[in-house]
Structure 1
């Protein structure tokens, strides 16, 4: 009987496997990963593929009217012309060495370069949220928030209460949250905010209870824009755990930025696109000086806001990482909670280390997602052999997403160094072209080193066989983790 069932499943599985091969023919690693799923879960695996393997790059998610699209293209073309003619005078002379990366982000990601920015760096949740609450209290016109995870706890309640007070004062409040990342929220969580006149919307919400066919595509961005003048971007979500109050993780180490200047306007535009995709109450797609004020900041920091998502064919943020790694002459410092590089990134890091660049990778010393953690470790051996140094953060949980090259240019944002962030999630990073800010971030990394232990090649080779087996298995699934 069992033999007959197995034979039938095998016969059905063959055309399903052929279908997967045809649909994923442009991505060999993903094809093999899905074939492995089909092998272990005959027929059922194809149902999983239909839910998790949808290709959004062919869908027109963001509807931008013709007039606005034309205006954006004119801005992009104008700045590209300035780059081609070397007309831009950089506040930091070192930034000129990264002109090609700025041009790439501008051409493929519509990321305008601005250099009138001021940046504050937060590495602890209490500092970040106290600054955010002060800015919320002083808001005069609007507060736009986008978070992947919002928890139903003291911090979540405090934030919604503060927003409700501002909404009652006439400030326009719009709160966007990811339906998967914030799946634990009760339906009434935003009722107080809505009664006060504010709005809240879920990104890619489930239309069927307990079933979300877009579960694989998550809006992992964390943005706050206050009055179009102040912007927050980085790794902190909303919840007590991000204040270090979770018993499982203890101290929470993350990196977040507060930006004032031209970079905020790009963050505002990105929020508007995501909001209009998620909410029936659209933000009007026209130039509004209230949403896009003329910012006369005294800042001098160069910034590009680079976004990526599954609706794009180009992996913008991954390309930033590749350019930073290839451009580095002395040092590359990377912090990430999850490390699942594709072949291009893995090769770039090995080339840099073999070329004598001091490449340092910092990962959490304790996992929050074990399968991802095992897969991460499977990549470390060849990098350690190439000369890269790896450090495991031990004070608590490391959630920071940062890369600094040569102490001259840096990227901080929401994207992890993994295939999910580069290809499947909606992400956003701030690329910073300023020696002073990059050196501050490099200093943060060096301070964190005091709370780490180094993972040596010798220790890595002595891993237990069971651990190696787990790593090998999870690596096969790494393109879809």
Structure 2
């Protein structure tokens, strides 16, 4: 209640100064400009209310528009509209077999088995209904811990490519590792390998024209996702492709938290060592990564190449009892809020433990309530969060949620050995997800993401082992310790939280 009283007083103060200044300046042009933006802000406010958004988002936009009509107008123009949420998925998409008939992803995944655990079976059905992607029992999974191991595997796979290479990344940098991968792609393109690449315009805004030109000059097809024609002044800016995908010859796939950049090898002086996790897939589930890439390529390049030659047929592994893998795609163009609903379902399904890591933690009310209830129910909830952030504003917004969770019984650890960028959830040390999705509202509602869900997989044991090792490099945040943080930190957290639904 006190917070709302302060907001009301602040609004009254701002508008008192506002009209006092206008009265004494007696500047007709200034008055016209302010009246115009105030009217526009009022109209936008009405539109936001009638869109029936979540109350928290509606209130935050209204606060911005009331306090700062001009700033609010431009902020809403750039970040607030949901026009592209309706438009992004408009293009028709299908895959053709050799007879010219359309086929769906589920026909490419020929697993007939079922999960033995009922809880996992129920969850996998939910994931299928939300993400339209089936289970695979014929996929080998390797957890790649940190950048050095990840790039070693990626480079080896790229060098062995014979037919095609598909890449889709939020960030591609023109640095040492970026140029190394570029040179491999150039070499493979000259050998006749077909290479397609999608990059996010905002995430890769520093990518040089020369880098792109070098790739295109040898026949590499490289396209931006939702290009910003006037950078930072375009409403595309709010919908970003946060995926990290590589598919080599349709047989090997990579996804996870690692973009193409030197910082993922620990070369960022600001944050130092970069703790991250990636996955390498071999086998049937690579079809799902391929399927989602082809769909994004149709949108980004308006080009269809979707034939069966890009997919694995009847994959046979040397290994037995591989467990199950499910690759789920999400984005603002989908009817359901896919990843948020799946994360929520995982949390409420836990019987013993919920262990997770995320560099950004801005949950909505559903996720926040689910975590609190799990803690109060005696479930072991552990969360690893970076102590050395790459974004101070998001860092303070994240910490604003800690007190309630700690009081409910959640154990929060600050990772001290560099920057924690891994994004995974482990339930009961039994099944897990890892991918590109952060535990925040931007990943849930605005970004295009991809996650892999692992059931009865040895890879889950590796994630558990890595999490336990990360705890050794982390500091537990006790209740009294957190309560005794400085007043300046508390103020920063409170102000950052006001903007959390917009982050």
Q: What range is the shorter-chain TM-score in?
A: over 0.9
2:5 corresponds in structure 1 to none
**Structure 1 residues 39 and 219: CA distance shift in structure 2, 3 A:** same
For residues 46-445 of structure 1, the aligned pairs below 5 Å read: 46-55=73-82, 56-59=84-87, 61-65=89-93, 71-72=103-104, 75=107, 88-90=113-115, 93-94=116-117, 96-208=118-230, 211-280=233-302, 282-285=303-306, 287-299=307-319, 300-445=322-467
The 3-state SS of whatever aligns with 2:497 is helix
- Once the two structures are TM-superposed, the CA of residue 213 in structure 1 deviates from its matched residue by 2.2
Give, in whole Å, the separation in 1 of the partners of 2:80 and 2:312. 37
1:40 corresponds in structure 2 to 67
1:323-351 per-position Cα deviation (integer Å, ceiling 9, x unaligned)? 11111111110000000000000011111
2:490 corresponds in structure 1 to 468
Give, in whole Å, the separation in 1 of the partners of 2:500 and 2:186. 41
Structure with max Cα Rg = 2
TM-score, normalization by structure 2 = 0.88
1:225-273 per-position Cα deviation (integer Å, ceiling 9, x unaligned)? 0000100010000111110011111111000000112111000000011
1:254-307 per-position Cα deviation (integer Å, ceiling 9, x unaligned)? 000001121110000000111111124x1323x323444442233523111111
Give, in whole Å, the separation in 2 of the partners of 1:346 and 1:204. 31
Give, in whole Å, the separation in 1 of the partners of 2:248 and 2:44. 49
The 3-state SS of whatever aligns with 1:360 is strand
Q: What number of residue pairs does the alignment pair up?
A: 468
**Structure 1 residues 71 and 15: CA distance shift in structure 2, 3 A:** same
TM-score, normalization by structure 1 = 0.92
1:334-391 per-position Cα deviation (integer Å, ceiling 9, x unaligned)? 0000000000000111111111110000000111111111110011111111111000
2:47 corresponds in structure 1 to 19
Q: Which moved more, 1:425-434 or 1:194-203?
A: 194-203
Give, in whole Å, the separation in 1 of the partners of 2:440 and 2:133. 22
**Structure 1 residues 237 and 455: CA distance shift in structure 2, 3 A:** same
Give, in whole Å, the separation in 2 of the partners of 1:298 and 1:216. 44
- Cα RMSD, aligned residues only: 2.2
User: Does residue 455 of the first structure (1) align with residue 483 of the second (2)?
Assistant: no
Contact kept, 8 Å, 1:33 with 1:479, in 2: the verdict is yes
| Residue ranges of structure 1 left out of the alignment (5+ in a row) | none
Q: Displaced runs of 4+ in structure 1, greater than 4 A? A: 4-7, 9-12, 65-70, 73-76
| Residue ranges of structure 2 left out of the alignment (5+ in a row) | 1-19, 24-29
The 3-state SS of whatever aligns with 1:214 is helix
1:73-128 per-position Cα deviation (integer Å, ceiling 9, x unaligned)? 8749x99xx9xxxx7344xx34x431111111111210111111111111121111
The 3-state SS of whatever aligns with 2:172 is coil
- Once the two structures are TM-superposed, the CA of residue 14 in structure 1 deviates from its matched residue by 2.8
**Structure 1 residues 437 and 140: CA distance shift in structure 2, 3 A:** same
Give, in whole Å, the separation in 1 of the partners of 2:300 and 2:467. 36
